[in-house]
Amino acid sequence: MSGQKIVVLGTGGTIAGTSAQAGDNIGYTAGQVGVAQLLDAVPGLQTMAGELLIEQVAQIDSKDMDIEVWRALALRCTHHLKDPEVRGIVITHGTDTLEETAWFLHEVLDARKPVVLTCAMRPSTALIPDGPQNLLDAVAVAVAPGATGVLAVAAGEVHGARHVQKMHPYRVHAFASADVGPLGFVEEGQVRLTRNWPLALDGEALIAIENIANVDPWPRVEIVVSHAGATGSMVDALVRDGVQGLVVACTGNGTIHHHLEAALLRAQAAGVAVVRATRCPEGQVLPKPGDPLPDSQGLSPVKARIALMLNLLR
């Protein structure tokens, strides 16, 4: 039986951004307005949420997201999710790395209650800011009957952590779940699902959270890209520098330039964990018997990096 409290955790982003000139949609500074002030500006939010508990976990532009903020966020979420009074969590976040934080939290939280990330493409000083509606919609999802899992809500759509991806650098409708479409829609405060809520991870997640709290630094995993004219020199340099894992953003169905591939096989032989993800925005690598490098099982390069880092951490 879940409680009535909705926890809102602020981390910054454009939703909390301000520009000197009202209506400037690109020349603003992210992470300026406190999350309590953002919530105050949304009529009807308090009524929809019931009891609200507000915490500012960070105040950053999410392009600068780092392990310290992830650690703090995961620990605050774990704390609140355990509270029987808490019904769900809403996290305000920048759009740039929202999909990474969503996947990270999906991997580490026992999200049998909803953990809903939301954001904005326009700063709070825009002529028509999108943040207030997104916040209201995120709360609607957090209080929706049966909601579970780590979710993202923006532009009237609900996405699951696995597939959500920022697709556009400017337009307000910037997110999609390319292969599968949105998990649902928020319409006038009501959630209309297209399929079931995502299943929350448990057991394994609970082990990970201890490691997240106690291990410092986390394993170092970098991303390299296969492209025309690629060489292996970056991989060789990273191995010399002590990298523990590498994700390669491959062309097409997991193919890699032969110079880069040779370096990745050398890295793997030297004990570095190497994973292939496709750089195509849709679809996933279909592995063939005898592939020398494992694939990311459908995760995009940035999410595969997080999965590999957490696997090494486990």
Active site residues: 14
Residue 63 contacts ligand ASP per CB under 6 A:
yes
Report which residue's Cβ sits closest to ligand ASP.
94
Is there a contact between 37 and 67 (Cβ–Cβ < 8 Å)?
Answer: no
Nearest-approach distance from CB 274 to ligand ASP, in angstroms: 29
Q: Which is nearer to ligand ASP, 117 or 191 (CB)?
A: 117
In whole angstroms, the minimum distance from the beta carbon of 303 to ligand ASP comes to: 16
**Which tokens is 43 given?**
């009529």
Interacting residues with ligand ASP between 161 and 200 (CB under 6 A)? none
Give yes or no for a contact between 232 and 262, defined as CB atoms under 8 angstroms apart: yes
Which amino acid, residue 296?
S
96 contacts ligand ASP (rule: CB under 6 A): yes
Under a CB-based contact definition with an 8 Å cutoff, are residues 127 and 23 in contact? yes
Least CB distance to ligand ASP at residue 122 (A) = 8
Distance (Å) of CA 117 to CA 19, 104, 154, 224, 235: 23, 12, 9, 28, 34
Q: Which is nearer to ligand ASP, 30 or 111 (CB)?
A: 30
Q: Measured between alpha carbons, how far is 122 from 170 in angstroms, rounded to an integer? A: 9
Which of 57, 69, 78, 94 touches ligand ASP by CB under 6 A? 94
Measured between alpha carbons, how far apart are the two ends of the chain, in Å?
31
Is residue 34 a contact partner of residue 60, using CB atoms and an 8 Å limit? no
Q: Does 95 bind ligand ASP (CB under 6 A)?
A: yes
CB of 30 to ligand ASP, least distance (A): 4
Residues 2-61 that bind ligand ASP (CB under 6 A): 13-14, 30, 61
Letter string b/e over residues 280-289, b meaning 16 or more CB atoms within 10 A of that residue's CB? beeebbeeee
The helix (H) or strand (E) run that includes residue 56 is strand 51-60
Pick from 25, 62, 124, 177 the residue near ligand ASP by CB under 6 A.
Answer: 62
Decide: is 118 part of the binding site for ligand ASP (CB under 6 A).
Answer: no
CB of 61 to ligand ASP, least distance (A): 4
Nearest alpha carbon to residue 305 among 99, 166, 117: 99
Q: Considering only 89-97, 150-158, 177-185, 219-227, which stretch makes contact with ligand ASP by CB under 6 A?
A: 89-97
Q: Which is nearer to ligand ASP, 99 or 261 (CB)?
A: 99
Nearer to ligand ASP, 61 or 107 (CB): 61
Residues in CB range of 52: below 8 A, 6 or more apart: 5, 6, 7, 8, 39, 45, 46
How many chain residues are in contact with ligand ASP, going by CB under 6 A?
11
Closest contact distance (angstroms) between CB of 215 and ligand ASP is 26
Tell whether residue 119 is a contact of ligand ASP (CB under 6 A): yes
Q: How far is CA 312 from CA 23, 128, 221, 222, 226, in A?
A: 45, 44, 9, 13, 23
Identity of the residue, 96 or 137, whose beta carbon is nearer to ligand ASP in the bound complex: 96
DSSP state of 228: T
Cα–Cα distance for residue pair 29/19, rounded to 1 Å: 6
The CB density around residue 61, as the number of other CB atoms within 10 Å, is: 18
The residue from 6, 121, 135, 176 that contacts ligand ASP (CB under 6 A) is: 121
Query: What is the contact surface with ligand ASP in residues (CB under 6 A)?
Result: 13-14, 30, 61-63, 94-96, 119, 121
